[in-house]
């Protein structure tokens, strides 16, 4: 394993998730190089001790472990290839993509990294902005076990439930599984709240009754109260859950697996995005049901 005394971390992506993750790395005394497309969004992190770098290439060249958490698979391709991370990282470096992306892309990064003497892990996360901020993310990891063991202490600075899933791409397949569960769960949560509201129930009392029972879930306990407050700020964007469901449906189709529940959830979220709520959190799905 590496420790904060002998490794420099590069971190690309300082969005809702990245900010909390970087802060926890800084708290663990890791030197952190950062880059994001809009520099102003990273200035608070620089004031807290992160080192701003002017490009992806600079981050890669000056870091031992390079972590990425960006928006879409095409963003992952952009930062890793075509004069990106793999062209500038030092031999012996480890790259860790924590974006929710496609398993096949994770496999490609792994293979091309291996040719250059660079270890690659796919390590998507779950837990939203709360988990990122509190260092309690679930981290699902694919790649070589040796590389996983080497950076485990870094993962432990950002998360609590860290599971090695197997070879390259399996971290992403696990995250797809997670997103299928979330998509269907949020649909059920919002429909249940809409039903309770139409029945004239006090939703706060309903939440108290059901969240600790068989219907309990992370989404219910953490996003349910936000719905009751009318708080639809993003812990995880509507536009990103649509992206994840698209990946999941594509992967399921490759396997010959029908997923009608997932397809329905995607249709409902696309309807929400068409109404102009793509930048809201996933709990904004309730807007489709509210009077």
Burial of 196 (0-12, 13-18, 19+ CB in 10 A): middle
Instruction: Tell me if residue 27 is catalytic.
Output: no
Residues 200 and 249: their CA atoms lie apart, in Å, by: 37
Phi, psi of 228 (to 5 degrees): -65, -30
Which of 150, 175, 243, 266 is catalytic? The answer is 175
Three-class SS state of 63: coil
The neighbouring-strand residues paired with 163 are: 140
Q: At what angle do helices 73-80 and 103-115 cross, to 10 degrees?
A: 10
3-state secondary structure of 65: strand
CA distances from 168 to 26, 246, 257 (A): 28, 20, 22
Question: Which 8-state DSSP code applies to residue 103?
Answer: H
Sign of the C-alpha dihedral, residues 177, 252, 220, 232?
A: positive
The token duo for 265 is: 């959830």
Which alpha helices (H) appear in the chain, and where do they start and end? 16-27, 43-47, 56-61, 73-80, 85-88, 103-115, 128-134, 145-158, 170-198, 203-210, 218-229, 238-255, 260-272
Q: Tokens 């290839």 appear where?
A: 81
- Phi, psi (rounded to 5 degrees) for 67: -105, 140
Q: What are the catalytic residues? A: 175
């Amino acid at each position: 394993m590496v420790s904060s005394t002998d490794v420099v971390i590069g971190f690309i992506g300082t969005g809702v998730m990245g900010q909390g993750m970087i802060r926890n790395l800084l708290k663990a005394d890791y030197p952190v190089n950062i880059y994001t497309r809009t520099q102003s969004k990273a200035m608070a992190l620089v004031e807290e001790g992160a080192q701003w770098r002017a490009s992806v290439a600079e981050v890669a060249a000056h870091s031992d472990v390079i972590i990425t958490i960006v928006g879409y698979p095409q963003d992952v391709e952009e930062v890793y290839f075509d004069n990106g991370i793999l062209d500038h990282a030092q031999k012996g470096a480890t790259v860790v993509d924590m974006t929710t992306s496609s398993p096949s892309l994770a496999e490609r990064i792994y293979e091309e990294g291996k040719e250059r003497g660079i270890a690659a892990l796919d390590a998507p996360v779950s837990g939203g902005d709360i988990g990122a901020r509190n260092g309690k993310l679930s981290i699902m990891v694919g790649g070589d076990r040796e590389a996983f063991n080497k950076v485990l202490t870094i993962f432990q600075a950002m998360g609590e439930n860290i599971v090695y899933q197997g070879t390259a791409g399996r971290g992403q397949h696990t995250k797809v599984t997670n997103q299928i569960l979330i998509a269907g769960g949020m649909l059920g949560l919002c429909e249940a709240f809409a039903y309770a509201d139409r029945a004239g129930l006090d939703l706060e009392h309903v939440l108290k009754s059901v969240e600790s029972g068989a219907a309990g879930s992370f989404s219910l306990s953490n996003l349910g109260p936000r719905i009751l407050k009318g708080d639809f700020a993003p812990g995880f964007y509507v536009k990103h859950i649509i992206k994840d469901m698209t990946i999941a449906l594509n992967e399921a189709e490759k396997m010959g697996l029908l997923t009608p529940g997932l397809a329905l959830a995607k249709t409902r979220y696309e309807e929400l995005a068409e109404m102009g709520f793509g930048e809201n959190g996933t709990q904004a799905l309730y807007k489709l049901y509210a009077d």
